[in-house]
Amino acid sequence: MTDSPENVVTESPKKRRLRLPLPLLILVMGFVAAVGLVASRPQPERAPTPRVAPSVRVEALVARNEPILVDGTGTVRPTSEIQLSAEVSGRVISLSPELTRGGSFGAGDTLLVIDQQSYVNAVAVVRAEVEQRQVEVALAEQEQVVAREEYRLLRQRTGRGEVSDTSAAAQLALQQPQLEAAQAALHRAEAQLADAQLDLDRTVVIAPFDGRVRTESVDVGQYISAGQSFADIYATDAVEVDVSISTRQALLIEDLWGSSPTGKIPATVRAEFGDQVFSWDGYVENASGALDPTTRTVEVVVRVPNPFDVADDRPPLLVGAYARATIEGRRPGTYFAVPRPALRNGSSVWVVDAEQRVSSTPVEIIQEVEDTVFLRADVAPGTRIIVSDLTVMTEGMEISVAGEPSS
């Protein structure tokens, strides 16, 4: 039996819209509960955030008054270096045992001898000619004496008195041209003898100074021609180091270009030998009168005497070594030496006061050497400056000093 339409109960559309699904109802209730919990939680007590001062490293300034030092680098070179060349041709008959690479010799030592026999013969030939010309001059002088007496007697007979005629005829009569010709021939022969003797002397090569041999290319029995070089030698009495310095550094050296300096400007040259660094005393020899067109620097020559003096187990200052020269400069008054990181913007430092606050102080740079800057500043010795690198720094900023308790 089916229900009749009258018995079917139907829901109205409004009731169907108000009816929610169970999952959605749970979500809504949970959200409401969460909101209530958040709204009812206790509020935390608010405290001001402490300001942290940046930590820096500081250094106390130490006053200096000694002469400032000017540093530069260069290569050691000899004061004199020459190529030995033969001045005459011939076969080598003798060599000094020191004429070898690295050999040392003294001034006046015989280094090489060329066969002398032909030059000895040439001297003998020319000397004989000189003696012959001397006889001819003596004969011409005697003939002139006779001719002068005959000419005097002739003038007396003719009533002309003493000999005083300077005419060409009178000179011929007095044998003057013949005497002058004989004297000229003698002078020519004497000059030839001097040349022959000079060539003979040149067969012996003498060391011009105390030195050492850099290279050599000759041996006994070898024939060498005039002008042929056979060895390179250099002096060992002193060496020099060409040091390039800036114009600012040059101003620090007193009387660098003085025409009559009262004394040599002291300098010290240091070079590495093995794992050790050795030093030699020297002085400024001279300074260039023009700037280097490439580097715009001044070239100063530092001379070191007796570089091969090996006293106190010190090695020689070798030619070609890379060296650092330190030149004694003038006294610039009171100045300070600070690490390069302490310099700010190239012209100031940051000073730390008693309240751990910073302030910028201008400085005058005297010199910069590697990681050290020498400067003058209107501050008292003992003033603390910041030597660590900070990206941001402002005037009056509070800082904390590393290694010190915070205030």
The pLDDT of 117-133, averaged and rounded, is 95
Q: Are residues 267 and 316 in the same domain?
A: yes
Q: Is 165 exposed, middle or buried (0-12, 13-18, 19+ CB in 10 A)?
A: middle
**What pLDDT, on a 0 to 100 scale, did the predictor assign at position 187?**
95
225-253 pLDDT, tens digit per residue, is 999 999 999 999 999 999 999 888 888 88
Residue 26 pLDDT level (bands cut at 50, 70, 90): confident
Q: Is the confidence at residue 222, as pLDDT, over 90?
A: yes
Q: Tell me the H-state helices in 224-381.
A: 247-251
Q: Are residues 104 and 223 in the same domain?
A: yes
Question: 330 or 20, which is more confident?
Answer: 330
**What pLDDT, on a 0 to 100 scale, did the predictor assign at position 1?**
45
* Domain enclosing residue 273, as ranges: 69-77+237-328
**What pLDDT, on a 0 to 100 scale, did the predictor assign at position 188?**
95
Q: Are residues 253 and 324 in the same domain?
A: yes
Question: 197 or 288, which is more confident?
Answer: 197
β-bridge mates for residue 302, sequence order: 241, 284
Within a domain: 135: yes
Q: Is the confidence at residue 382, as pLDDT, over 50?
A: yes
Q: Is the confidence at residue 399, as pLDDT, over 50?
A: yes
Residue 41 pLDDT level (bands cut at 50, 70, 90): low
Q: Are residues 229 and 92 in the same domain?
A: yes
Number of alpha helices (DSSP H) and beta strands (DSSP E) in the chain = 6, 22
Question: 231 or 48, which is more confident?
Answer: 231
Amino acid making up residue 229 = S
Whole-angstrom distance, CA of residue 61 vs CA of residue 374? 11
Q: What is the CATH number of the domain that holds 214?
A: 2.40.50.100
Q: Phi first, then psi: what are they for 341, rounded to 5°?
A: -60, -15
Q: What's the number of domains the chain is made of?
A: 4
Q: Is 329 exposed, middle or buried (0-12, 13-18, 19+ CB in 10 A)?
A: buried
pTM of the complete model: 0.67
In the listed set 328, 356, 388, which residue is the last one of a domain according to the structure?
A: 328
List the single range of 6-15, 94-103, 168-177 with lowest mean pLDDT: 6-15
**What pLDDT, on a 0 to 100 scale, did the predictor assign at position 212?**
95
Q: What is the CATH number of the domain that holds 382?
A: 2.40.420.20
343-373 pLDDT, tens digit per residue, is 888 889 999 888 888 889 999 988 887 788 8
Whole-angstrom distance, CA of residue 268 vs CA of residue 61? 27
β-bridge mates for residue 338, sequence order: 373
**What pLDDT, on a 0 to 100 scale, did the predictor assign at position 241?**
95
Q: Are residues 230 and 95 in the same domain?
A: yes
